[in-house]
Chains A and B, each alone.
Chain A
Amino acid sequence: NAGVTQTPKFRVLKTGQSMTLLCAQDMNHEYMYWYRQDPGMGLRLIHYSVGEGTTAKGEVPDGYNVSRLKKQNFLLGLESAAPSQTSVYFCASRARGSYNEQFFGPGTRLTVL
């Protein structure tokens, strides 16, 4: 099992450019999440999904969109990147049920100039 994988690992964008971050999991998990991590701010939830075809807003959704067309993939889109979106982005997945472990990907470091 590869677990949770993220593509790309690093990316530099110019303000106004768009991009999509891809998250894939091979554990057949129902729940998937996108977080951003900034110094001193912990993990902040951007969007999440409880199943194929469903998404919901998290704590900091503005400026991002997501899609979950397939159960194993969760895409995070930035339509018009801003310097405030410079961050490390983590994807995670989890099986349904309150006792289940959340597995994280290795992260994507995004810099917006």
Chain B
Amino acid sequence: GENVEQHPSTLSVQEGDSAVIKCTYSDSASNYFPWYKQELGKGPQLIIDIRSNVGEKKDQRIAVTLNKTAKHFSLHITETQPEDSAVYFCAATSMNRDDKIIFGKGTRLHILP
């Protein structure tokens, strides 16, 4: 079955700097890669996603990249702000098995003043 590895588990960056979170997946049939943000005391919420037919997607300060050959995908946050402090989860799902989204273990991002 699919396995999603996420690194790092904790990341601290100065406000205004960039943050990068990396994930790898194992199932070559995976075709959809969402990223979720979980703020303190709340449920995770989708912030951006990418499909397997696209290499990069950007939404304001957030971008995702996908390397299908290497089975890597990454989240990039530029010009970080205090409100970016949260736990981020990468995930993958497969066209062959779309009943479950497989999540990484999460990255706790701290934005330092």
CB-CB < 8 A to B49: which residues of A?
99, 101
Type the 1/0 row for B83-113, where 1 means its CB is closer than 8 Å to any CB of A: 0000001010111001111011110000000
Interface of B, secondary structure class, is strand
Type the 1/0 row for A84-111, where 1 means its CB is closer than 8 Å to any CB of B: 0000001010101111011011110000
Identify B43's interface contact among A42, A58, A97, A104, CB under 8 A: A104
Question: Whose C-beta in chain A lies nearest to the C-beta of B96?
Answer: A98
Count of chain B residues with Cβ under 8 Å from any Cβ of A? 26
Q: How far is the CA of A105 from the CA of B45 in the complex (A)?
A: 9
Q: Are B99 and A42 in contact (CB under 8 A)?
A: no
Q: Are A98 and B89 in contact (CB under 8 A)?
A: no
Beyond known contacts A98-B31, A104-B44, A107-B43: 15 more, CB 8 A cutoff: A4-B43, A40-B9, A42-B89, A42-B104, A43-B89, A43-B103, A56-B99, A92-B43, A98-B98, A99-B51, A101-B49, A102-B46, A104-B43, A105-B43, A107-B42
Which positions in B face A, CB cutoff 8 Å?
9, 31-32, 34, 36, 41-46, 49, 51, 89, 91, 93-95, 98-101, 103-106
